[in-house]
């Protein structure tokens, strides 16, 4: 646990003894709800089957054709049954537990059926934490959680020279597969979204070090406009911390936490960008990234890492793909990929970070509406952008309608991302910036945000 409570993560000379968790799964009947397209569900189901579960039912509302690649990876397992294109109530009863995928609706009748039948609900990130027992630095927040997670993991990896486990909401990473590398002296850094933190709440656990970056409007389509329900899911990151735990957050999040019924027995550290010295160098632009670095700094201090090691790690951190990532310069026009900006507020932060006051940004935005107000974004566009290129989506329609009331905004709707890049290049002049920062979700046009990211990077690579 944290050094300020008498035990240092990094004072341990790591001799990794891999632990065996297969006994937990042997003979069990498990339903995996959500196979998905990203490899997480496949990896989780494969681990459970390989560990000796008697019967694994994998069920997903997507069809066999939609999940063809994922399903093919499980068809050789004799103890796995695929139920695709539907859910069946009988698959949610007489089970040892249901492994619930991220984003399953809170009011799912199938989960309610499982609860009524006395079946335990679990989620893979929390189950990894339960079984492994390794110390975890968990990071959540509406924005910045990926960057802070990767900052912490990068710095710890450099400082220790050891394999630090990286999990949670990480592309293609099955949390149960991480049990294969978990040892008695392991340390894990986990990015945890609100859905994964539902699982921590079900299990009644929290990470030893919790980082809560910020709290803003997001996923209102999922939470039906209930910001309190969204916050309470997020709050599971610190809700069940022991007195030896540390919760690192901002004053704004802390004030909101005090308005709940959650009792805070752990140490709470409030951070802002002022905790970093002025000469602390970062590769990523923007005041919001200095705040991200400040939160990472406080988390790393809690592991007993020295300031010298922390600042060295932060300075060498290159950033995360799709998060205000500098891609390349073409004809003296800089191109940035901010694909993972899936809320209007995230795009506002990107505009503020890149604009030096000369309104030289050509913004590519658009996608599926998440039920979030766009007025702040339209104001930022009027202040920072010379032109906006909009790819299709319900969010794009909402932004276009709002922008039509502001004569200072030039918006061009296009049919796809390829056309958007072509139009952005035509609009961008010497020393301008092309910023891809969608402000909305990817569904509708893409299977997920990663597919959108990959298409953008592929198109830009050809320039």
Residues (pLDDT < 50) of the chain are: 1-7, 11-15
Three-state secondary structure call for residue 193: coil
Q: What confidence score (pLDDT) does residue 5 get?
A: 35
Q: Which of 336-355 are b and which e, b meaning 16 or more Cβ less than 10 Å from the residue's Cβ? A: bbbbbbbbbbbbbbbbebbb
Note whether 298 and 4 are within 8 A (CB): no
Q: What confidence score (pLDDT) does residue 456 get?
A: 96
How far apart (Å, rounded) are the C-alpha atoms in residues 218 and 225? 9
Q: What confidence score (pLDDT) does residue 8 get?
A: 54
Residue 17 lies in a domain: no
Residue 2 lies in a domain: no
Q: What is the largest CA-CA distance in the chain?
A: 66
C-alpha distances in angstroms, 66 versus 44, 63, 157, 451? 19, 5, 37, 14
Residue 12 lies in a domain: no
Task: Check residue 427 and give left, alpha or beta (phi > 0: left; psi -120 to 50: alpha).
Answer: alpha
User: How many domains, the chain?
Assistant: 3
- Same domain as 202, residue 129: yes
pLDDT digits (tens, 9 = 90+) for 123-137: 999 999 999 999 999
- Same domain as 113, residue 157: no
- Same domain as 301, residue 152: yes
- Same domain as 307, residue 159: yes
- The CATH number of the domain holding residue 177 is 3.40.1190.10
Residue 142 lies in a domain: yes
- Same domain as 363, residue 231: no
User: Which segments of 20-173 are extended strands (E)?
Assistant: 29-33, 55-60, 80-84, 97-100, 120-122, 136-140, 165-168
Q: What confidence score (pLDDT) does residue 76 get?
A: 81
Q: What confidence score (pLDDT) does residue 445 get?
A: 87
- The CATH number of the domain holding residue 339 is 3.90.190.20
Containing structural domain, residue 30: 22-122
Q: What confidence score (pLDDT) does residue 3 get?
A: 34
Q: What confidence score (pLDDT) does residue 2 get?
A: 34
Residue 170 lies in a domain: yes
Q: What confidence score (pLDDT) does residue 17 get?
A: 66
């Amino acid at each position: 646990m944290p050094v300020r409570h008498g035990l240092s993560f990094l004072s341990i000379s790591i001799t990794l003894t891999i632990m065996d968790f297969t006994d937990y799964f042997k003979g069990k009947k498990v339903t995996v709800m959500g196979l998905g397209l990203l490899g997480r569900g496949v990896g989780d189901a494969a681990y459970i089957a390989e560990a000796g579960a008697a019967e694994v039912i994998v069920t997903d509302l997507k069809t066999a054709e939609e999940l063809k690649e994922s399903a093919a990876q499980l068809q050789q397992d004799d103890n796995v049954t695929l139920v695709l294109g539907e859910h069946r109530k009988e698959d949610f009863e007489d089970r040892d537990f249901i492994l619930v995928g991220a984003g399953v609706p809170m009011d799912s009748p199938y989960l309610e059926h499982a609860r009524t039948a006395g079946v335990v609900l679990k989620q893979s990130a929390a189950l990894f934490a339960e079984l492994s027992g390794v110390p975890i630095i968990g990071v959540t927040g509406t924005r910045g959680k990926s960057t802070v997670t990767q900052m912490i993991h990068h710095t710890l990896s450099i400082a220790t020279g050891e394999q630090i486990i990286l999990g949670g909401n990480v592309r293609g990473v099955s949390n149960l597969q991480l049990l294969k590398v978990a040892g008695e002296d392991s340390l894990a850094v986990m990015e945890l979204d609100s859905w994964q933190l539902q699982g921590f709440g079900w299990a009644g656990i929290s990470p030893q070090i919790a980082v809560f970056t910020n709290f803003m409007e997001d996923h209102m389509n999922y939470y039906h406009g209930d910001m309190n329900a969204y916050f309470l899911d997020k709050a599971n990151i610190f809700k069940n911390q022991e007195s030896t735990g540390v919760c690192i957050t901002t004053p704004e999040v802390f004030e909101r936490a005090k308005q709940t019924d959650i009792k805070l027995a752990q140490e709470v550290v409030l951070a802002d960008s002022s905790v970093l010295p002025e000469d602390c160098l970062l590769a990523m632009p923007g005041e919001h990234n200095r705040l991200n670095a400040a939160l990472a700094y406080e988390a790393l201090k809690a592991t007993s890492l020295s300031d010298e090691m922390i600042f060295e790690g932060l300075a060498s951190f290159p950033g995360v793909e799709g998060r205000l990532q500098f891609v390349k310069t073409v004809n003296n026009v800089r191109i940035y990929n901010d694909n993972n900006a899936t809320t209007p507020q995230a795009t506002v932060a990107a505009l503020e970070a890149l604009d030096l006051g000369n309104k030289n940004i050509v913004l590519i935005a658009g996608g599926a509406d998440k039920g979030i107000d766009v007025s702040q974004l339209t104001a930022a566009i009027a202040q920072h952008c010379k032109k906006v290129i909009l790819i299709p989506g319900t969010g794009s329609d909402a932004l276009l309608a709002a922008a039509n009331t502001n004569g200072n905004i030039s918006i061009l709707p296009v049919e796809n991302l390829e056309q958007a890049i072509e139009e952005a290049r035509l609009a961008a002049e010497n020393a301008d910036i092309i910023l891809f920062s969608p402000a909305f979700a990817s569904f509708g046009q893409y299977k997920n945000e990663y597919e959108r990211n990959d298409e953008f990077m592929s198109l830009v690579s050809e320039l």
